[in-house]
Structure 1
Amino acid sequence: MKFLKEFYLTPRFLLITAIIVLLFFFGYFFDPLFFIAKILLISFITVVFVETLILFSTKKNIFAKRILSERLSNGDDNEIKIILTNNYSFDVNLKIIDELPFIFQIRDFEISSKVESGKTKIFSYVIHPVKRGEYQFGALNVFVSTILNIVSRRLKFEQSKSVKVYPSYIQMRKYQIMAIADRLMEVGVKKVRRIGHSMEFEQIKEYVRGDDYRTINWKATARKRQLMVNHYIDERAQQIYSIIDMGRTMKMPFDQMSLLDYAINTSLVISNIALLKHDKAGIVTFNNKVNSVLPAERNSVQMKKILDSLYKQETNFLESDYENLAGVVREKIKQRSLLLLFTNFETANSLKRQIPYFKSLSRSHLLIVIFFFNVGLDELLYNKAKSLDEIYHKTIAEKFAYENLKSDIGHKNKDNLTDK
């Protein structure tokens, strides 16, 4: 029974069989063709038997293994490697079919190659997940045939493997390297001159020419009988919270990913940089209620806590409750913090309804509200319509953009849009 499960016929087998059948058919009219057909049939059966015997004669003939990370990065290209060793005493033709997670809907994945006897070859391919969650890989199928390629033997490896797709840790590592090397200016982070002093005291030191006389510590000066000044450093251990809206509007897709996925990837990068810069990072997620609050901390396991917190967050089709959010933030976050609120509004009226709650948050914290710019809408607005359908699409896009621009969010004003 196992033999039948591993035994497969190749397209070449079917082609040769069809030729022999045609020769037999025309052999009824031409006797020489009938004789040739019988000789070919006997030879063909002999070759099939010999090739089958060669392929199934040994057990430890092919070794294959799929190499992939314990977790995949959402929204990025993830490389998968396949290591394959040919233990046959002859060269073989291979066809590799890896059973990818069903969410990719890829049904024609195939790698064909030739591997010499006793050699090991590494194959690689790239997958691009666009949704967080658990992905299930199936079996790794290897179809082996000789140089004749008439029949093949199927070997199965890595029966099944589950791998989790986390928020984009590849982008996180990219910006982490930049932060360590102080190269964040390349992506728009600029150093600015600060006026005044921070409030975090470091030490008392002797006065040297050039020190600000306003920092003179008169008590220490009296004790030491020489000028002493207070020395300050930039404030550290500040709290930075990424507040992520998981309501209906964050379900909107863009480039196969939802706005929520982009918000999660961005908050992951910001949190990691904050921890590298000796600040505290925390996460708040909400929709019609506050789902989770991860207190801002700075320790060795905080990044793992953030990843685990964001891993299974999903949007729903409920309206976000900003009043409830403001109440929970006042209750849970006592220290003044930087709040990065990732959200989106479809109309000006929906934005105006939430402004009182934004003002409430900004009284106790430094609030930054982050919107998403609709690039697809912008393309519809400024690309010339060439068909009736495109005219309809452009008209709807202009109406939608006009509603958004009335709230003064977006990068163009109402008059410019009307002129265009």
Structure 2
Amino acid sequence: MKPASAAFLGLTLWLIMALVAGWRPLLIHFWQGISVILLLLALFDAWRVWRMPTVRVQRQVAGSLPVGVWSEVILQLYNSSTQSSRVEVFDDYPITSNLQGQPQPLQLPASAGIETQYRICPQQRGACQFAGVHLLIESPWRFWKHYRYIPLITPIRVYPNFATITKFAWFAAENRLGQLGIRQLQRRGEGLEFHQLREYRSGDALRQIDWNATSRYKKLISKEYQDERDQQIILLIDCGRRMLTQDSTLSHFDHMLNAILLLAYVALRQGDALGLMTFSGEPRWLAPRKGMNTINVILNTVYDLQPSTHASDYLNAAIQLTQRHKKRALVVLISNLRDEDNDELLPALQLLRHQHLVLLASLRERILNEVLEQPIYTFEDALRHAATLDYLNTRRQTHDALTHQGIVYLDTVPEQLPVKIVNRYWEIKRSGML
């Protein structure tokens, strides 16, 4: 219980009357009467708000939310009292989230309900919960604000940003993937795996024509191919300390999870089997499986996964993977690489190459590009620019060396990783490298 507007107004009136009574002693009895009246009014108002029925509250929120994306939370409040009341509402939201639209002042009608909403943006993946709702109920005569806490536990799961998948599906249905930056390299009738026979169309290559079928049907018949299906994709997830690097509001680890979700969705749509393995952190293994339901399995496997403070042990990860999975697969390794990693990384890549095709993606801090774009005014600016350029040239040399060894290499800033890794996957499928 704390004072409200009428209480402060009454206190101000009481002090004014006290000053007047001090100047005119004849008014002291009048001041005492006013004091008693104000006190009785305040006590009666406190008793009324204390006896008010508890406001019933319901919360509507999705059971799973994407990290870094604003989502809507709806609160429904019902007033069972025969009197309307003013209420200030503050939801007990997960503390690892940003908030918009709280607290909210509301006017609750008598014997009726009202609905309000606010927005929440989770900043950390994992299991969390809404604990309850804080209410400040104003008394009928506005002398007091009575605090009540309504326990209302709502557990939720914060997943990697699966909103990218929804956007991809929508653009794919509209045949507008180019707006996302994704290049579809398939050309009509061409591929690696026979799909069907059909009538010849203008633009088909001569090598597509099936001459036996043409002779039988007395018209040109073309072979139609599609990209090979039923291939194996394994995501090798680095949980080492480098992935703790923060870029914008998300860490490199969160950017990586967002990218592999989109890659998983695309690969599963292509008919490939997808699995994953973590290393240098909490060990998790998911054997390759097919079907779009695998997306849900992957989400539930990685949603609470966090990077550790351990150094990334690439060689040990390669040994474990070769022991667990014998069939040839496309191994996708995403990490934040440095020059000093080469001594351990190269043996691991060579071990994987004996059996698998390796796609290595290295995340590059966005600030490196920003330094190169800044104008140079001082000697320190020139040194910073030259050092950054030298560092990027060294990364480019590493890229060339790995490419010559048969490693598919990708160097990108985190925000561009989802689109670039999907494009590289389609290039691999189209080329028949796997």
After TM superposition, the score normalised by the length of structure 1 is 0.78
Q: What displacement does 1:306 show?
A: 0.4
1:303 corresponds to which of 289, 295, 298: 295
User: Quick check: 1:331 aligned with 2:323?
Assistant: yes
User: Quick check: 1:52 aligned with 2:46?
Assistant: yes
Partner of 1:4: none
Q: What displacement does 1:303 show?
A: 1.7
Partner of 2:341: 350
1:273 corresponds to which of 259, 266, 272: 266
Partner of 2:362: 371
Aligned partners of 1:176 and 1:272 also within 8 Å = no
User: Quick check: 1:285 aligned with 2:278?
Assistant: yes
Q: What displacement does 1:33 show?
A: 6.0
Matches within 5 A, 1:108-257: 109-146=102-139, 148-192=141-185, 198-202=191-195, 212=206, 216=210, 232-257=225-250
User: Quick check: 1:43 aligned with 2:31?
Assistant: no
Q: Supply the AA of the counterpart residue of 2:76.
A: I
Cα deviation digits, residues 216-266 of structure 1 (max 9, x gap): 486x999x7989886543322333332221111101122342211111121
- CA–CA separation in structure 1 for the residues paired with 2:270 and 2:192: 17
Taking a change above 3 Å as real, the CA distance of residues 319 and 100 of structure 1, as seen in their structure-2 partners, is same
- CA–CA separation in structure 2 for the residues paired with 1:42 and 1:278: 82
Q: Supply the AA of the counterpart residue of 1:371.
A: S
Q: What displacement does 1:104 show?
A: 4.5
Q: Supply the AA of the counterpart residue of 1:373.
A: R
- CA–CA separation in structure 1 for the residues paired with 2:293 and 2:83: 52
Aligned partners of 1:65 and 1:157 also within 8 Å = no
Aligned partners of 2:98 and 2:123 also within 8 Å = no
Root mean square deviation of aligned Cα: 3.9
- CA–CA separation in structure 1 for the residues paired with 2:187 and 2:200: 22
Q: What displacement does 1:343 show?
A: 0.6
Q: Supply the AA of the counterpart residue of 1:141.
A: H
Higher RCO (CA < 8 A, seq sep 6+): 2
Partner of 2:72: 79
Partner of 1:88: 81
Aligned partners of 2:127 and 2:304 also within 8 Å = no
Cα deviation digits, residues 126-185 of structure 1 (max 9, x gap): 121111122232221222224632113334323433322122223332223333443322
Deviates more, 1:318-327 or 1:173-182: 173-182
Number of residue-to-residue matches in the alignment: 397
Q: What displacement does 1:112 show?
A: 1.2
Identity between Structure 1 and Structure 2 (%): 19
Q: Supply the AA of the counterpart residue of 1:367.
A: V
Cα deviation digits, residues 342-370 of structure 1 (max 9, x gap): 1112x323246523433543454443222
Aligned partners of 2:246 and 2:252 also within 8 Å = yes
- CA–CA separation in structure 2 for the residues paired with 1:196 and 1:276: 19
Q: What displacement does 1:49 show?
A: 3.6
- CA–CA separation in structure 2 for the residues paired with 1:15 and 1:207: 89
Q: Supply the AA of the counterpart residue of 2:295.
A: M
Taking a change above 3 Å as real, the CA distance of residues 334 and 135 of structure 1, as seen in their structure-2 partners, is same
SS of 1:131's partner is coil
Structure 1 stretches of 5 or more lacking a match? Answer: 1-6, 413-420
Structure 2 stretches of 5 or more lacking a match? Answer: 400-410, 414-434
Aligned partners of 1:176 and 1:273 also within 8 Å = no
- CA–CA separation in structure 1 for the residues paired with 2:40 and 2:64: 49
Q: What displacement does 1:191 show?
A: 2.2
SS of 1:80's partner is strand
Partner of 1:416: none
Partner of 1:322: 314
Taking a change above 3 Å as real, the CA distance of residues 194 and 360 of structure 1, as seen in their structure-2 partners, is farther
Deviates more, 1:376-385 or 1:120-129: 376-385
SS of 1:43's partner is helix
- CA–CA separation in structure 2 for the residues paired with 1:193 and 1:303: 24
Partner of 2:22: 28
Q: What displacement does 1:267 show?
A: 0.9
- CA–CA separation in structure 2 for the residues paired with 1:127 and 1:201: 49
SS of 1:160's partner is strand
After TM superposition, the score normalised by the length of structure 2 is 0.76
- CA–CA separation in structure 2 for the residues paired with 1:237 and 1:319: 34
Aligned partners of 1:342 and 1:370 also within 8 Å = yes
Q: What displacement does 1:20 show?
A: 2.0
- CA–CA separation in structure 1 for the residues paired with 2:375 and 2:126: 40
User: Quick check: 1:103 aligned with 2:96?
Assistant: yes
